[in-house]
Structure 1
Amino acid sequence: MSLMTDGEPNATSDRRTVVAVFLAGVAVFLVLYETQGLIPAIRDAYSIDAPTASLTVSATNVAMACFLIPFSLLASRIGHARQIAAGVIVAAVLALILPFMPSAELLIAVRFLQGIAIASVPATAMAYLSLRLSPSALPGAIGVYIAGNTIGGLSSRLLTGLAAEVLGWHGGLAFTAAVSLALGLIVVWLLRRDLTATAPKRRVAHEGQPRRSPIPLGHGLWAIYLTGFLCMIVFGGSFTMLGSRLQRDPWQLSEGAVALFFLIYLVGTVVTTYYGRLALRFTRTRLTLIGMVVAVIGAVLTLVNSLPVIVIGMSLLTGGFFLGHTGASAAASTARPGVDTTRSAAIYLTVYYLGTSLGAWLSAVLFTDYAWPGVVVMCVISLAAVVVLVGFTQRHRSSPS
């Protein structure tokens, strides 16, 4: 049964909780990737190279990855709602001061601090929903939260790029920050009852929860974590340097035009929506292998100097990535004997965002030395490694013990 809050009807309280967590996801992911489409502009503004400019993406993801597990442990002490509200507001305030940084070093430092603040939401949101909602309402609510993350991630690149077209890259960042802060204030208002909840109420929410187990690495989970890591090297790296490629000859597209390419992310929304149906016909292993093959084909197609072909290639790469990521994420969150699934999911997210960080930096290094073909080689090698990893794991499971 859902928890009651000051006598408030359950239905109203549940709706407020779901909307608050949805908007929190939108707000923090809105500023998570805000510099990804602005790498060329940041590089030129501070007279730095592309690998250094890419650290504005990597630093945030590294910080986020490092603080997911600590925040997942801290939430029960300070309150899940308080942690979510604080993270949303702090991330937005840091985003507001970001355009005024006088040096690249300070810009990267603020982005790192943003990552710490952002981590408080994904580390807490699902646990908060599980405490506040009934078991029957929980799956739908988690789906809504993940949709918020997707919308925020897409809007982060799209809104910032389109605003930068009119206001310059400083104005683009400021516009995105203002939207994030507005959403954050709404989140605080929606969570206002839980923000003032007493300690006994929070303890009631944790009654009956199993004690946390040690960090789960067995049961084949290491392969699942590594799959997410390798997939994110490909996805994060390719999209980080896509703008740099499109703003060169022969296209020389503007920030606004490049931002429109991030609409390709919607392919991922379609794939995740239909993944459940596909899983009824194919095993997770087969879907992952299919996804990696599709992604390799897409990566190779992007070598063609044609905008329509690049769109098709990036769409295939995105669809293939989400086939692998969705399956790995679900596997990391699946209950297994002796495994704390909350901790397992947190570890998966940690390595997932570390993959984003490495991919963003490595793709910038390769792009500087070898242009776009260097990025494609990185993608193909990483995707091939996933295929080998999945095949090895499958053979190990099927071999007699």
Structure 2
Amino acid sequence: MSTPSPALARVEAPARARAAVVAAGMCAFFTMYVTQGLLPSLRSVFHAGVAELSLTLTVTTLAVAAAAPLAGSLSDRFGRRPVLLSALAGLSTATLGAASAASLHQLLVWRALQGLFVPGVFTATVAYIGEEWPAHEIPSITALYISGSVAGGFLGRFIAGLVTSRWDWQAAFLVLGVLNCVFTLLVARGLPASRGFRASRSLRASLAGLPLHLRNGQLLGSYAIGFGILFTQVCTFTYVTFHLADAPYDLDLRQLSLLFAVYLVGMVATPMAGRLAWRFGQRRVFGWAVALSAGGMVLTLSSPLALIVLGLTASSAGVFIAQAMATSQVPSFARQAKSSAVGLYVTCYYVGGSVGAFAPSAIWLHAGWPGCVALVLAVQAAIGVIALRVWPAGAGHR
């Protein structure tokens, strides 16, 4: 009896493998920004200023950016599934450890450790998708991962706020840690062993691929696009809160926190985008996504609050679709050491988010919300041009 080829064997992935991809995305982002909604509670507990408390976010994102290239290289050397499961276990442990923190400094240590494990989840999962699914399914499977990350980011904030209001912030980390453990088990049971993985000769060989990635024009363009994607999202939601907290809106903290519910549109938009990418190509869908996001940003210049929220919803949908398209492109552009290529993308992505938080502050002070919108539109135009120049028109039809 003949043995089916690996390509044919991979065509029909079981539903549990897809569910495992979603679960991995949720785990990665359950706790990434969890303290964002807990800062008022942490201020009363630790009697610290806003600048100190904001470090609970900064140390995590900086750790992600710093660890991403190494996480990718480890995945190239030791395999996607082992690195993914190890990272998920470490992330769960660090989250449970954060529940035991007795001081702000201890919490910062655990938050940094969380950030160190996150890139292993992202880089290994994206590289696994690129190797284990047929080319025509990669955009849609990547979109499932992005949907999971969107759901995880929202649910992490929501659950943490709910638990903290009932008990305390430590209980919130405990609950999220337990949930991370549950989803880690789902990934372990649902994700099949790798078939398309080819290990690097050594960790040094994988790290040696980093300079090659930096000489690859398509990857460099994709890294710039990743930087711009998170820059625009963080800039938008950082400064629109100031805009809506001022007159004539005067929204309170609870009302402002509900703005993040617009993220949930990404759970619907990104799977649809994956199917569109197969039909029309990733570059074209990316262009549509940027146009949708830009149109949403223009709408936020309106006066009625309902139109502003609608604009934020459209902008977020465009951002998540663009992220799905960019993420699915990176492994195909890497000639070798695919996971370390994804790791560099993650680094640029989170550096963009860090810059998007503080760099627009001068524009906000001098030009307010319209100035921030103009900056976001300029960055969106730039990444649209980059995609047009470096991404092949037929991407998604391979």
Match in the other structure for 2:377: 383
| One-letter amino acid of the counterpart of residue 206, structure 1 | R
Give, in whole Å, the separation in 1 of the partners of 2:386 and 2:144: 35
Shift of 1:265: 0.8
- Mapping of 1:8-27 within 5 angstroms? 14=14, 16-27=16-27
Kept after mapping to 1: 8 A contact 2:146/2:270: no
Gap change, CA 1:227 and 1:351, over 3 Å in 2: same
What SS class does the counterpart of residue 32 from structure 1 fall into?
coil
Match in the other structure for 1:356: 353
Gap change, CA 1:85 and 1:389, over 3 Å in 2: closer
Match in the other structure for 1:300: 301
Number of equivalent positions: 374
Deviating above 6 A after TM superposition, structure 1's stretches of 4 or more consecutive aligned residues are 9-13, 134-137, 241-249
Shift of 1:165: 3.0
Gap change, CA 1:182 and 1:208, over 3 Å in 2: closer
Give, in whole Å, the separation in 1 of the partners of 2:31 and 2:387: 37
Deviations 1:325-351 (A, max 9, x none): 344444445448x68765544332221
Give, in whole Å, the separation in 1 of the partners of 2:15 and 2:276: 27
Deviations 1:138-194 (A, max 9, x none): 665444333322222221222222333323434333322222223224444556x96
Match in the other structure for 2:95: 95
What SS class does the counterpart of residue 123 from structure 2 fall into?
coil
Kept after mapping to 1: 8 A contact 2:240/2:369: no
Kept after mapping to 2: 8 A contact 1:231/1:382: no
Shift of 1:314: 2.0
Deviations 1:98-120 (A, max 9, x none): 24433333322321110111211
Gap change, CA 1:203 and 1:339, over 3 Å in 2: closer
Out of 307-316 and 57-66, give the one that drifted further: 307-316
| One-letter amino acid of the counterpart of residue 301, structure 2 | V
- Mapping of 1:118-157 within 5 angstroms? 118-129=118-129, 141-157=141-157
Gap change, CA 1:40 and 1:378, over 3 Å in 2: farther
- 1:262 paired residue among 260, 263, 278: 260
Match in the other structure for 1:277: 276
Gap change, CA 1:52 and 1:226, over 3 Å in 2: farther
Give, in whole Å, the separation in 2 of the partners of 1:109 and 1:208: 32
Gaps of 5+ in 2: 392-398
**2:211 is equivalent to residue 206 of structure 1:** no
Give, in whole Å, the separation in 2 of the partners of 1:11 and 1:328: 23
**2:314 is equivalent to residue 316 of structure 1:** yes
Match in the other structure for 2:228: 230
Gap change, CA 1:355 and 1:299, over 3 Å in 2: farther
Give, in whole Å, the separation in 2 of the partners of 1:132 and 1:224: 22
Match in the other structure for 2:28: 28
Kept after mapping to 2: 8 A contact 1:288/1:327: no
Match in the other structure for 2:396: none
Give, in whole Å, the separation in 2 of the partners of 1:39 and 1:341: 38
| One-letter amino acid of the counterpart of residue 160, structure 1 | A
Give TM-score, length-normalised by structure 1.
Answer: 0.74
Deviations 1:194-226 (A, max 9, x none): 6xxxxxxx79842899x9751144435434322
Deviations 1:41-87 (A, max 9, x none): 33444344434433322322222222222112212444433322221
Give, in whole Å, the separation in 1 of the partners of 2:42 and 2:306: 27
- 1:215 paired residue among 209, 213, 216: 213
Give, in whole Å, the separation in 2 of the partners of 1:172 and 1:230: 32
Shift of 1:13: 9.2
| One-letter amino acid of the counterpart of residue 321, structure 1 | V
What SS class does the counterpart of residue 34 from structure 2 fall into?
coil
Match in the other structure for 1:197: none
Gap change, CA 1:247 and 1:188, over 3 Å in 2: farther
Shift of 1:227: 2.7
| One-letter amino acid of the counterpart of residue 377, structure 2 | L
- Mapping of 1:62-211 within 5 angstroms? 62-129=62-129, 141-188=141-188, 205-206=197-198
| One-letter amino acid of the counterpart of residue 293, structure 1 | A
Gaps of 5+ in 1: 4-8, 195-201
| One-letter amino acid of the counterpart of residue 36, structure 1 | Q
RMSD: 4.3
Question: Percent identity at matched positions?
Answer: 22
Kept after mapping to 2: 8 A contact 1:294/1:316: yes
Give, in whole Å, the separation in 2 of the partners of 1:142 and 1:283: 17
Give, in whole Å, the separation in 1 of the partners of 2:76 and 2:52: 37
Gap change, CA 1:98 and 1:216, over 3 Å in 2: same
Give, in whole Å, the separation in 2 of the partners of 1:376 and 1:41: 32
Gap change, CA 1:81 and 1:349, over 3 Å in 2: same
